[in-house]
Structure 1
Amino acid sequence: MMAPDPDAAPPPAGQPAEEKTGPAAYTREELEHAILGADFLETTDEVTAGSGLTLEQARRLWRALGFPERVLEMGYSAADVDAVAKVGAVVDSGAIDFDMAVNLTRAVGQTMARLADWEVATLISRVEQLEASPEATGSRLGSALRIVEEVNGPFEGLLTYAWRRHLAAAVARVEAMGANEEDLHTTAVTVGFADIVAFTELSNRLDEDRLGDLIELFESRCHDVVSGLGGRVIKSIGDSVLFVNESAEPAIETAEGIINVVGRDARMPDVRVGLASGSVIMRLGDVFGPPVNLASRLTAVARRNRVIIDDATAALLSPERFETRRLTARPVRGFGLVEPVAVRRV
């Protein structure tokens, strides 16, 4: 088999890369070209000149996207120039200022970086299947590129659709808040923390593949329950999932649902859920405030496959539907002595 010609021209922009084989079949530049469909012919100065932004502004946007600068290299494509120029045009229109543009760009960069890692990790098993089949290319990278070419078109459309749907939902939430809140960054919610019991011990016993599968299953089951009951998963933090519901009773249902699909499954570890209600600050897709911290602390108090709530949440529950019981006061880091509340359905 002939080695790839290092002087061979890459395929035209937008065309699939010619299939190659062998462990060193693709250079990094060829891989980037095959996925992006563009040649890197621009320097930092050319990006700046073509975008209408200052050099420092262009650099801030590029860093916000999460990419390193290639100051002296021809490391940018015409598409990079166009992307930066479009952001600059929005700023010039007066719709937002430059700092807001940087914040939005950072949100896109961080979200897309995680999405790309998630996509690649998800497709790895399919790549290995292909390379063990008669369809093998002789290169895992070759198979990966073939899958990307087949999958990315439909999923690019799904990405735009999902963003618009979530944007519509977020605007609706802000509109609903506007009727009751003076500060649209602040709202009253019930915050939940679902935590895997004895995760450190578990991670020491399981091999890496099994541990990764378990965490993925835990997160996906939590996400399905939270979404199905009208809540939102804010983030996953290793062995924990942080979520919010707009009111206390759906949060209790969410906590019970997570315990049912995770803690009561003999193949899964036990979980504990802490709930706290109150005012939180919403910034950059995250939530901050005492209820977030208290919900996290309460998971350490909860027994296996049980829900523990705070006073504020207990006060919001219908006594006809839920029975609450105060537990012994105990020190909770950052909150002093706290009387956790156990809850069960009547």
Structure 2
Amino acid sequence: MARILLARRRGGPGGLHPHAAHDRRPQRAARERRRSSLSRPGHALASDLGRARPGHPREPRRASIRADARHAPRDVPRIRPFPAPRRAAPVRPGAHGLHRGHRALGHPGGADARASPGGRIADVDFESEGLLEGLEDERARKDRLRLLTELYEAGVSLDELRRAVAEERVALLPVEIELGGEQKYTGREVAERSGLGIEFLMRQRQALGLSRPPPTERAWTEDDLQAAIQIKKFLDAGLPQEGLLEVARVVGESMARIADATRELVGRALARPGDTERDLGLRLADATSVLLPMIGPRMEYVYRVHLREQLRNVVLSQENVAAGELPGSQEITVCFADLVGFTKLGEALPPEELGRVAGQLSEFALGIAEPPVRVVKTIGDAAMLAGPEPAGVVSAALGLVEATEGAGEDFPSIRSGVAFGNALEHAGDWYGWPVNVASRVTGVARPGSVVTTREVHDAAEEQFRWTPIGRRKLKGVREPVPLFRARLRDGPSRGPAAPGRRRRSS
């Protein structure tokens, strides 16, 4: 046991399981730790996680759930995220986060802590606690019992288990353990160690969309501390507090959407018919441990590419350089496109199908917009595009019409409004006259059409066929606005084709 504890404290040699040399008897194959492929049949933590060292004559011994060698091995995978149980200091009651670093210390104290002098945690009668109620299938009952036992021995309190069962989220607890970290700092301690003011630290956390715990509550992890230290470096480099808070809001909103999308993707990909809670929970935890380290480099790559593309379209005049300032408002072409009848469609379609339609619109917009035109945002049934040149934005809008027309008879029609003028870019969005007008023009456009203001028409008159549709009174605009419908000179616009749908008149 001393060898095991020492190996864990030092991190152990790379790639080796902490118990690899536990059994020194001859003719026993030590096990090397290896993550299984997520594409293998069965769940991701199958028994082939360990393998005999090459050339060894004997089959490797099977790993036990418990670290205690006195327990008979069982034909189940070793629960990699769950450490061997040991005593630990009490956790704060009612904690929702289950953190691997915290659980590594062992079972929390309090009324639920029942450990023998040797460190072994006594069994809990989960059935009498009512945590197996409602499970008629014997396999489902047995696997929930095993999972509850493993979670309890890993340090999850009985109250947390009761709450998870009541909320029908027992299968997600292993993932929470995989994602977590030990909540060992208070907000004041993080502020003191990072050099940030406590109020700014709290505002920064809130801007990211996270909860704002009391400054004296131990709700901060080592990752939180390191993030605060990085923020202090940004401040020391001369970046203003308010600017950092604005960026934090954008990052928080974007990360929340990314987390939502990846959660749905992984959940759908790994859920399998016939799973028990334990099957799915361990598979999700293992997938999280494999996939999570890939997210950071991937996001950095996308960030660099977007930043490079945007810098190529920034106009920085000599006057701006001499004045020591970046340009403020600039001329920009804005397009709003929305799906016709999307609200009524929502009354007839299930949410999953409605989400598929919205996702298809986003895919069309991202596929058609080519730099310097970019998709600013998509919101359900609408997309906003922007670019420096009117012709490029009008072409993208016509391409979006063509794409939706080729998507099948059941896909809603789209209409677009395009305007040109001075606007201000702020935190990844645009504000100003062309943004407001483009949105209003969309409201008067017919399905399958692209309607623009006179400024757009005059700037791109040679590239398209135009039909004047008269002056229209737009909400929020004082004077009636002359509008024009745009069409391609040589037939339909570009966009992915799909058979089986008659093209609407455009």
Calculate the TM-score normalised by the size of structure 1.
0.86
- Name the SS of the counterpart of 2:211 in structure 1: coil
Q: Aligned-pair distance for 1:96?
A: 1.1
Task: Show the 5 A alignment for 1:148-163.
Answer: 148-163=288-303
Q: Distance in 1 between matches of 2:172 and 2:466?
A: 62
Deviations 1:93-143 (A, max 9, x none): 4x2122222222222222211211121123332133x3x267x66354443
Task: Show the 5 A alignment for 1:174-185.
Answer: 174=314, 176-178=315-317, 184-185=327-328
Q: Which has the higher contact order (CA 8 A, sep 6+)?
A: 1
Deviations 1:151-171 (A, max 9, x none): 223332111111111122223
> Is structure 2 residue 306 aligned with structure 1 residue 166?
yes
Deviations 1:186-225 (A, max 9, x none): 2212111111001111111111111111111111111111
Equivalent pair of 2:171/2:278 in contact (CA under 8 Å) = no
- Name the SS of the counterpart of 2:451 in structure 1: strand
1:233 is matched with which residue: 357, 360, 375? 375
Equivalent pair of 2:171/2:277 in contact (CA under 8 Å) = no
Q: Distance in 2 between matches of 1:160 and 1:10?
A: 35
- Name the SS of the counterpart of 2:244 in structure 1: helix
- Name the SS of the counterpart of 1:329 in structure 2: strand
- Name the SS of the counterpart of 2:443 in structure 1: coil
Calculate the TM-score normalised by the size of structure 2.
0.60
> Is structure 2 residue 475 aligned with structure 1 residue 333?
yes
Which structure has the highest helix share of the two? 1
Q: Aligned-pair distance for 1:9?
A: 4.1
- Matched residues, percent identical? 23
**1:25 to 1:4, Cα distance in 2 relative to 1, 3 A:** farther
Q: Aligned-pair distance for 1:26?
A: 6.0
> Is structure 2 residue 183 aligned with structure 1 residue 43?
no
Select the structure of larger CA radius of gyration: 2
> Is structure 2 residue 328 aligned with structure 1 residue 213?
no
Which residue of 2 is the match for residue 87 of structure 1?
231
> Is structure 2 residue 408 aligned with structure 1 residue 263?
no
Aligned residues: 328
Q: Distance in 2 between matches of 1:137 and 1:334?
A: 54
Deviations 1:40-93 (A, max 9, x none): 111112111211112112111111121112224321111111111111122124
Deviations 1:213-267 (A, max 9, x none): 11111111111111x3541111112210001022011112101110111134224
Equivalent pair of 1:274/1:299 in contact (CA under 8 Å) = yes
Equivalent pair of 1:4/1:25 in contact (CA under 8 Å) = no
Equivalent pair of 2:404/2:413 in contact (CA under 8 Å) = yes
Q: Distance in 1 between matches of 2:277 and 2:440?
A: 51
**Structure 2 stretches lacking a partner, 5+ long:** 1-141, 157-164, 490-506
Equivalent pair of 1:229/1:250 in contact (CA under 8 Å) = no
**1:69 to 1:238, Cα distance in 2 relative to 1, 3 A:** same
> Is structure 2 residue 77 aligned with structure 1 residue 77?
no
> Is structure 2 residue 248 aligned with structure 1 residue 105?
yes
